[in-house]
Amino acid sequence: MKGLLTLPALIYICLAAYGSFLIFQALRKLRIYKVADYLLVILLGLYTLITVIMIGLELSFWDFLPPGVRLELPRYGLLLYSGVIFALTCAVFRSENPGWWWLPLSLGIIGLAVLADIGVIFPGKLNSDGSLESSSYSMIATVVQALGWGFFITYASTEILKEYRQTERTVVKQRAIFWTSALVLYLGSSILFLLGNELLGICLLLLATITLNYLVLTYRLPDLKELGFRLAAHSLTGITITLVYALGFLLLERFFIDLPWYRPVYNGMFFAVIVLIFFKPVLQLVESILLGLVPSEKKRTLEIRSYSKKLSSILDIELLSKVTIEMICESLDVKQGALFLVDRLEPEKDPPSWYIRAVQGTTETLPDLEYLPAHNPITQVLANEKRPLTQSELEFIPRFQTIPENVLDWIRSLDVEALVPIHTDDEWIGLFALSQKSSGASFTDTELELLSAVADQTSVALQNARLVESLSKIDSQLRRAKASKDTALDKIERIRKSATDVISIKAHELRSPLTIVSGYTQLLANDPALMKDEYYSELIKGIVSGSERLQDIIENMIDTANIPPKNLNIDTTPISLYTLIDGVCQDLGGKVRARKITMSHDNLGEIPPVYGDSTALRKVFEILINYAMTHTPAGGKITITGRYIPPRSEVLKWEGAEVVVTDTGIGIDAGAQGRFFQERMNPLMVDFSVLDEIAAGEEKPGEELAIVRSIIEAHNGRIWVERLSKDTDHLPGSEFHVVLPLEQQTYPTQPD
């Protein structure tokens, strides 16, 4: 048979070619620092080598070897194959490097068997006639190989059983079940080789190799229920297609067999095309029928619909997390899960890094991930690709082998099987972290798509809940700020009241000694003898002037302390501005004439009565006219004019009255404008020195303007100064504008 290509040889060649293809695929999927991947390549290479040996035996390529060795070559390969299976089992289930001690041990056993087969040791032979040609082999060699083979297979089975009993992860248990099926296939293959049925044995060995290759390289194992469902769907589809094919073939055969051009091959080709076209639609139809018959699938659909209705009314994040996780766990048979909120770190950066915080209260306290870097494989999947990520992918796909240690520790602490991102249209806002299913199977593609749909439905509700949470925090902060403000205002008010009380008390205490000083000063001023002396006359006049100024200061201090703040209600009555201002002008007429100043008032009688405190407003105009008189040189003029202000004007929201006090004095420096119009003045904060500077050396103090502002603001009015220019030569003068509402308003009337 040497050089003659037989059917078994063709089968072995195809199997060897397929083994080479598996090696190529495994090399493409090699991961960093994964010993199991390299052992898998060795296993696939060893299977390919065994098929090549079988090709050589079939084509008599190994005739140059001793007969015992030549016939035992496949068994040598199976022995080495068992050693690789042992090492691969340890690498997969222990997740550690099993070392390479098994290799010299298996090679040593093979070498011992070879020496026995060629008669170097244990020369006793047992002759046996086989189906091929007469050959001899050493019984000792067979026993040695059997012991070595049994040692490795028993050791590997023990490791699988130990891991199955010790692990709590159902996914690992499921992988152990599939791995055991591969060992059973290998055991059957070895038995067939020993029985001399190499062709069937190599086919079983191929199935075992394919199973191991799938288990090592596949990160999501199929659910047994899902696998059964697919098998049932394909079986029913195959039966249906077969029946249609047979029935159609028979019908065409019956109607067209008498035609001269008819050939059965045409009939077969026609229905083969029909099968290719309709196989997938029929499969989908069968799957939909089976899904309708499965109660769990119906229940899952109803739960998803019910969940969608619940979302619209949930605005609390913890309640949303509870409802969502319970629905997912019940419908997908998941043990437990959690909802995480995702926030940007340094939002101005693109792409940003992320902060992942747990919604507490749904399960035990969960850790937060304080920093998930932007340039990271996990971020790429969850934030950019917007798809679920499974634990199996993290363990098996090469690009996830370089994730940061803090992220890896966080995922391990959660003990999750799937991470499902929650996205709005343009932002990643949340994350579902789900543990493994109770069955231990990985999430199927259909289930992951379902979870993505649930995440899409949750996104709007989660966004609304986060907005409500933010508003609640802002409201809480505003409440705390308001409480702090009220507390601070109470303290300020107590301090202000204490200060005004101190000023009022001290001012009243100063009145008594000042009255005595003023009395004695008047006695001195009334003494003709002293007043005739020029020297003593100047001294007495200075004392009198100083006493009067001190008296004015004390009165101003008392008035300032007693003026109510602008946010307090004051007693108001209808007041005629004409009568009030005319009375002030008459009282000050003597002083005005003494300074040779002309004073007049116009249009005041045309203004309707205003509501206000007559005493306080009289004080206002006394101070303003005194101020104008003090800063106007002899021969000047003071004019007081008034006008009615309609509602919603540029200076007042409601109807009111405006009084303008104009003088022809030295004016006011524009640089002092900001200090004139501070929002609130009190007796302890008035800048008397600045106001004295405005007086330009005159004796009248400027602190009285603080009293004017306080009174006007207490009436919800306005006061300002115009003609802000100071010139002692050209005398530009100044204008004080006072605006008062006709009726006392609850809210300030000053426009924005």
Q: What is the mean pLDDT of residues 120-135?
A: 43
Q: What is the band of 137 on the pLDDT scale with cuts at 50, 70, 90?
A: very low
- The answer to whether the bond into 574 is cis (omega within 30° of 0) is no
Predicted confidence (pLDDT) per residue in 58-81, tens digit:
887 777 777 767 777 888 888 888
Residue 405 maps to which CATH number? 3.30.450.40
> Would you say residue 412 lies in a domain?
yes
Q: What is the mean pLDDT of residues 394-403?
A: 72
> With b meaning 16 or more CB within 10 Å and e meaning fewer, what string describes 534-566?
eeeeeebeebeeebeeebbbbebbbbbbebbeb
- Outline where 131-223 has alpha helix (H): 139-166, 170-194, 198-217
Highest-pLDDT range among 84-98, 293-307, 359-373, 619-633: 619-633
Are 733 and 594 part of one and the same domain? yes
Q: What is the mean pLDDT of residues 348-373?
A: 77
| Residue position matching structure tokens 């850790």 | 367
Quick count: other Cβ atoms within 10 Å of Cβ 180?
Answer: 15
* Alpha-carbon gap, residue 117 to 123, rounded angstroms: 9
Q: Which residue has the higher pLDDT, 615 or 261?
A: 615
pLDDT at 550 > cutoff 50: yes
> Would you say residue 543 lies in a domain?
no
* Alpha-carbon gap, residue 494 to 308, rounded angstroms: 57
* Alpha-carbon gap, residue 327 to 567, rounded angstroms: 57
Can you give the residue range of the structural domain that contains 186?
7-218
Are 231 and 289 part of one and the same domain? yes
- pLDDT attached to residue 131: 38
Q: Which residue has the higher pLDDT, 743 or 699?
A: 743
> Would you say residue 581 lies in a domain?
yes
Counted domains in the chain: 4
pLDDT at 690 > cutoff 50: no
> Would you say residue 525 lies in a domain?
no
Are 178 and 110 part of one and the same domain? yes
Q: What is the band of 396 on the pLDDT scale with cuts at 50, 70, 90?
A: low
* Alpha-carbon gap, residue 476 to 487, rounded angstroms: 16
Q: What is the band of 714 on the pLDDT scale with cuts at 50, 70, 90?
A: confident
> Would you say residue 515 lies in a domain?
no
Residue 635 maps to which CATH number? 3.30.565.10
pLDDT at 657 > cutoff 50: yes
**C-alpha pair distances (Å), 333 with each of 3, 87, 171, 172:** 60, 35, 14, 17
Q: Kindly tell me the burial class for residue 71, based on how many C-beta atoms sit within 10 Å of its own C-beta (0-12, 13-18, 19 or more).
A: buried
Q: Which residue has the higher pLDDT, 141 or 150?
A: 150
Are 15 and 125 part of one and the same domain? yes
- pLDDT attached to residue 568: 45
pLDDT at 171 > cutoff 70: no
> Would you say residue 128 lies in a domain?
yes
- pLDDT attached to residue 692: 43
pLDDT at 747 > cutoff 50: no
Are 37 and 148 part of one and the same domain? yes
Q: What is the mean pLDDT of residues 420-433?
A: 86
Are 256 and 205 part of one and the same domain? no
Are 252 and 273 part of one and the same domain? yes
Are 211 and 189 part of one and the same domain? yes
Q: What is the band of 24 on the pLDDT scale with cuts at 50, 70, 90?
A: confident
Last residue of a domain, one of 443, 458, 473: 458
- Of 565, 514, 508, the C-alpha closest to 683 is 565
Residues 6+ apart with CB under 8 A from 108: none
Sign of CA dihedral 486, 489, 495, 499: negative
Last residue of a domain, one of 178, 198, 218: 218
Predicted confidence (pLDDT) per residue in 600-653, tens digit:
888 888 888 888 888 888 888 888 888 888 888 888 899 999 988 887 777 777
- pLDDT attached to residue 134: 32
- DSSP conformation letters of 589-616: HHHHHHTT-EEEEESGGGSPPEEE-HHH
| CA end-to-end distance (rounded Å), the chain | 110
Predicted confidence (pLDDT) per residue in 287-307, tens digit:
777 766 655 555 555 555 566
pLDDT at 695 > cutoff 80: no
Amino acid code (one letter) for 715: H
Are 214 and 236 part of one and the same domain? no
